[in-house]
Chain A
Amino acid sequence: MSSVQAVADDPHRLGHRQDTRRAGPSKRIVVGYGFWIFLLSDIVMFSAFFATYAVLADRRAGGPGGSDLFDLRNVGIETACLLLSSFTCGVASIGALRRRDWFYGAMAATFILGAAFLALEIREFAGLVARGAGPTRSAFLSAFFTLVGLHGLHVTAGLLWLLTMMAQTLAKGYRTDILRRMLCFSLFWHALDIIWVALFTVVYLLGVRS
């Protein structure tokens, strides 16, 4: 406890300090804050793709549109997988702090749900390409594949990160710097959910109606 206290008092270990009220924020806060800024920038990038999709949504070049292509049942299962994985990710981050015996199970569940989401998405993409509705067919499909695929790429990166985190806690234990990374990972994973909700609404729900 005393070492924890020392870290809380002088988080950057910036030397001695007379006035504790003026202490800088802890490293955990700084790292989390910086990661939030990154996530905001990532959301700006997504919004550029969303805007592009909105501009190109009805540029079908005589090709198929959303109502011909989207299968809401498949997307519903995808959504369920992703939202559930967010829950298990939350369990994993609680586990890393308090219930270490939950950690690996919850992380593994997150991985499986994320991988299932990705598999469903890849199946959907492959199906579209097989039907001649690949990204080169029309501007609408280019924008669709890019926007949804970019989210999928983020999920892939997240899964890679997740495995690395699991290996790291296994090899190094629950060190403070690793716990900070865990905080960033869960922020990242939840942010992907938020983006997916927007994606589900703008692309699939509005797309099916068109």
Chain B
Amino acid sequence: MNLLGKLSWAAVPLDQPIPMIASSVVALAIVGVLVWVVWRGWFPYLWREWITSVDHKRIGIMYIALAMVMLLRGFADAIMMRFQQAVAFRAPGFLPPEHYDQIFSAHGTLMIFFVAMPFVIGLMNFVVPLQLGVRDVAFPTFNSVGFWLTATGALLVNISLVVGEFARTSWLPYPPLSELTYSPGVGVDYYLWAIEISGAGTLIAGINLVTTILKLHAPGMTYLRMPMFCWTSLASNLLIVAAFPILTATLAMLLLDRYLGFHFFTNEAGGNMMMFMNLIWSWGHPEVYILILPAFGIFSEVVSTFSGKPLFGYRSMVIATMAICILSFIVWLHHFFTMGAGPDVNAVFGIATMVIAVPTGVKVFNWLFTMYGGRIVYTTPMLWSIGFMVTFVIGGMTGVLLAVPPADFMLHNSLFLVAHFHNVIIGGVLFGAFAGYTFWFPKAFGFRLHEGLGKAAFWCWTLGFYTAFMPLYALGLMGMTRRMQHYDVAAWHPWLLVAAAGAAIILVGIIFQVAQLVVSVRRRDELRDATGDPWNGRSLEWSIPSPPPSFNFAVLPEVEGEEAYWGVKRRQHEALGDEPEYAEIEMPRNSPTGFVCAFFATIMGFALIWYIWWLAAAAAVGAFATFVAFAWRDRNEDAIPASEVARIDRANRSARTEAFARQQVRS
């Protein structure tokens, strides 16, 4: 028996320059950061305050940091593909086919699971408890476990760069290609275990946030007083709870096929591969709404804040959100109209798909009417929101076009489809994430992001997006299918050159974003947010200092209407009410459970990928022992003394009184 399973030195692709260079750059960066952190003596701080933190704000920030790093990695894949297609006209290009296939698979996997998902979950984690007026999520340690399991998934995908290979089966591993017969390597196994583990993390986040939103509120914060972002987060997390188990089940079946020779999706012995498409998309379609709904919530907050008006049609927005939540479960078949289910079935799903456009349209009109007559301030988050409205409507319309089954038969698997979903994911989810990032950054760190660089990034992203993806619509109509490593149709070539130029413009946008972060950190003193309310906000997160203290609220706020903080500001122009009576606050203690558990999950995943059974079993025992150790803990909470609470809150109150006084002078 081989102690290392399938693992050997042959697994390291020493002969392929691109993955080796890329991975050594990544490895060098990681080692460099680690050395720097240890050398500066920051490691104990990082361990105490971040890695073991169960504070929802810190966990949210770490989710977003993970998403941003993975965005760079996923974008590197994207720009390689664009340049490959730009040069691969009657030529092999610079990416060999087996490598190109891994790149488009890794690009999709990273962007959905490790960029879009952690970005929106991070924002929800950070913002939702603050908006609800509570001190933490329902299950703080569990929250940390969820984050670190997501990080495990991301790590496994990145390890595949150096050790072995990644899947060549696209971001959803359709059988029979993904079965052992046709994909004998470890690539698909990397994909499957990374997604199984991070999927468990996502489910944990979903359960946690659903419980938080439905059960924990400040006094008076009834459901219909919750900010819109809380509602869309609720819908999104309900979808996570209902949809992610299907993903887990589906991928588990594929694992059984691959590891133990079962026959779920095989060609032989009665397996049914179309069942995979049905199962994976009954997760996959809700998944797009899991991503877009929080973005809708962000736009609602941003548009209302920077128009200086309450959100137009709040209740219709709630109804539209919940309608989308339900409808998203009955449209999955539109991803494979060409399966041949027959005209009746296709018509039902086509119409259901078009019906989803109705509540979405309600939302767009609500945002427009919120802006109508408002005193609009064109800050960076507002620019992202307006850019979203224009771009997303175009993406939505091409989506309705694809919902017509006969049209779909023509456009299926073409670049038209690729253009459509990038149109809604970049123009919707990513613009929303960027809007939320810029909007809540001062809350998280106490200083604003540089506006000029943020606007420059916005314009590059927008211009780059249209330049990169509008040609793909044309190419799709010209019959170019997706995922082509090379081609010999002369008419396509100029369009692909334009698309590559678009990717380059997006790259400039990303460079501006990195510069924005660096410049803002350096000039943090002039960008300081002393008031805790830099945008003249309307919900409770703006009523506390920036960054918020670990307990968020010194005294739980009494909510007396929609737009909780706006109401307070309206009532208390000159001064805040009397100083409340401060009391000791008990907060959950930090715990390394999440990190240690993810450490074992990483080892277990890696061992299973390489068939190292003893190591997988040992890691499973380790993970179980971690939970037992956590369960054996005697002290779960640390008390923050009333004097400390009073000190922090008095500073906040005086900053706020000054801000109110300034407003008074202005008005």
Given contacts A59-B271, A136-B260, contact A37 B279 (CB under 8 A): no
- Partner-contacting stretch, out of A18-26, A67-75, A79-87: A18-26
Contact of A52 among B264, B266, B268 (CB under 8 A): B264
Contact residues, A137-184 vs B (CB, 8 A)? 137-140, 142-143, 145-146, 160, 164, 168, 171-172, 177, 181
Give Cα distance in the complex from A160 to B630, angstroms: 16
Give Cα distance in the complex from A19 to B134, angstroms: 16
Give Cα distance in the complex from A52 to B282, angstroms: 13
Contact residues, B375-421 vs A (CB, 8 A)? none
Contact of A29 among B207, B215, B261 (CB under 8 A): B215
Give Cα distance in the complex from A18 to B218, angstroms: 12
Chain A residues whose CB sits within 8 angstroms of the CB of B210 once the complex forms: 34, 37
Q: Are B249 and A45 in contact (CB under 8 A)?
A: yes
Q: Interface centre among A15, A48, A55, A59, by most B CB within 10 Å?
A: A15
Contact of A15 among B253, B583, B624 (CB under 8 A): B583
Q: Are A24 and B272 in contact (CB under 8 A)?
A: no
Contact of B256 among A18, A25, A37, A142 (CB under 8 A): A142
* B94 is an interface residue with CB less than 8 A from chain A: no
Q: Are A48 and B219 in contact (CB under 8 A)?
A: no
* B581 is an interface residue with CB less than 8 A from chain A: yes
| B contact residues vs A (CB 8 Å cutoff) | 134-135, 138-139, 203, 206-208, 210-211, 214-217, 219-220, 241-246, 248-250, 252-253, 256-257, 260-264, 266, 268-272, 275, 279, 554-556, 558, 581-586, 624, 628, 631-632, 634, 636-637, 645
Residue pairs across A and B with Cβ atoms less than 8 A apart, 22 shown, are: A13-B586, A15-B554, A15-B584, A22-B220, A30-B138, A31-B139, A34-B139, A34-B211, A37-B241, A40-B242, A41-B206, A42-B245, A44-B246, A45-B245, A48-B250, A52-B264, A61-B269, A135-B256, A138-B269, A139-B269, A164-B628, A164-B631
Q: How far is the CB of B241 from chain A (nearest CB, A)?
A: 5
Give Cα distance in the complex from A75 to B137, angstroms: 43
| A contact residues vs B (CB 8 Å cutoff) | 12-19, 22, 24-25, 29-31, 33-34, 37-38, 40-42, 44-45, 48-49, 51-52, 55-56, 59-61, 135-140, 142-143, 145-146, 160, 164, 168, 171-172, 177, 181
Give Cα distance in the complex from A145 to B253, angstroms: 11
Q: Are B249 and A49 in contact (CB under 8 A)?
A: yes
Chain B residues whose CB sits within 8 angstroms of the CB of A17 once the complex forms: 219, 556
Q: Are B272 and A56 in contact (CB under 8 A)?
A: yes
Q: How far is the CB of B163 from chain A (nearest CB, A)?
A: 29
Give Cα distance in the complex from A13 to B585, angstroms: 7
Contact of B134 among A14, A41, A49, A171 (CB under 8 A): A14
Q: Are B216 and A24 in contact (CB under 8 A)?
A: yes
Q: How far is the CB of A139 from chain B (nearest CB, A)?
A: 3
Give Cα distance in the complex from A136 to B269, angstroms: 8
Contact of B272 among A34, A55, A135 (CB under 8 A): A55
Give Cα distance in the complex from A52 to B273, angstroms: 11
Chain B residues whose CB sits within 8 angstroms of the CB of A51 once the complex forms: 279
Chain B residues whose CB sits within 8 angstroms of the CB of A48 once the complex forms: 245-246, 249-250, 279
Give Cα distance in the complex from A14 to B243, angstroms: 33
Contact of B138 among A34, A42, A45, A52 (CB under 8 A): A34
Give Cα distance in the complex from A29 to B138, angstroms: 11
Q: Are A61 and B275 in contact (CB under 8 A)?
A: no
Q: How far is the CB of B159 from chain A (nearest CB, A)?
A: 27
Contact of B219 among A22, A34, A142, A181 (CB under 8 A): A22
Give Cα distance in the complex from A55 to B220, angstroms: 49
Q: Are B263 and A139 in contact (CB under 8 A)?
A: yes
Q: Looking across the interface, which residue of chain A has its beta carbon closest to that of B249?
A: A48
Given contacts A56-B264, A137-B269, A177-B636, contact A160 B555 (CB under 8 A): no
